[in-house]
Amino acid sequence: MATPHNQAGAQEIAKVVLMPGDPLRAQFIAEEYLQQPSCFNEVRGMLGYTGLYQGTRLSVMGSGMGMPSMGIYSYELFHMYSVEAIIRIGSAGAISDRVHLKDLVIGMGASTDSAYAAQYELPGTLAPLADYALLRMAADSAQKRGLPYHVGGLVSSDIFYEQRPQVNARWADMGMLAVEMETAALYMNAAKAGKRALAICTISDHLLTGEKLDSQERQTGLRQMIELSLEVAAQLAADQSA
């Protein structure tokens, strides 16, 4: 069942999909962690793979940058390919002094400056939320692994080069932990489709202090996030097939 953005056949994508923003990171995860990985998509360079992780069939596919791109790919996965759950994995910039470099933020909800929700013509303001079962699995697994993590609010912004100097401070004043660019669209698509979604982000930059991870620290932090998300995805897939 090909779409303009995905050449995969109807059965080539697993029911649980990991979605990093970078398609090359999807390739890295497939080659490094999956057994017998098979590439199901190369359209527009948005690489997708399906393989086995500890005997469980999983897929990994890039989402691209920003909510329009995440919106397209996650919509198609949920609606055209019958995917049941998507776990976003990516980097984020901290805006809270409680959060530090290399910490994981598990997104309980995703506030946004985007107009993505306007399509639903709701009579108020939508609060896009994660699937609780996935969130609980991720938090429990992070606790068991001894990883530094926080569960709380993300901000999904349409703007990377922000021109308003007080914006992040205002979000932080409302308890938000970090800024990224995709989660709100994923959570909205999942809610509308009646599917499951979760975002797990590694703090690569601190927008209050100006700190940034160097290349080695970034690699270590991303591996922790990837391995945690694989564990959660495999657990969910096993529960669904039981």
- β-strand partners of 92: 203
Place of tokens 């691209």: 64
Identify the active-site residue in 97, 103, 205, 214.
205
Place of tokens 């591996």: 223
- β-strand partners of 155: 111, 179
Beta-carbon contacts of 163 under 8 Å, excluding residues fewer than 6 positions away, are none
Told to judge if 131 belongs to the known catalytic residues of this protein, a careful annotator would answer: no
State the sign of the Cα–Cα–Cα–Cα dihedral 60, 77, 73, 75: negative
Indicate the SS3 state at residue 58.
Answer: strand
Q: How many CA atoms lie within 13 A of 42 on its CB side?
A: 2
Please, are residues 157 and 112 in contact by the beta-carbon 8 Å criterion? Answer: yes
Question: For residues 237, 239, 241 and 242, what is the CA-based torsion angle, rounded to 10 degrees?
Answer: 160
Catalogue the active-site residues: 205
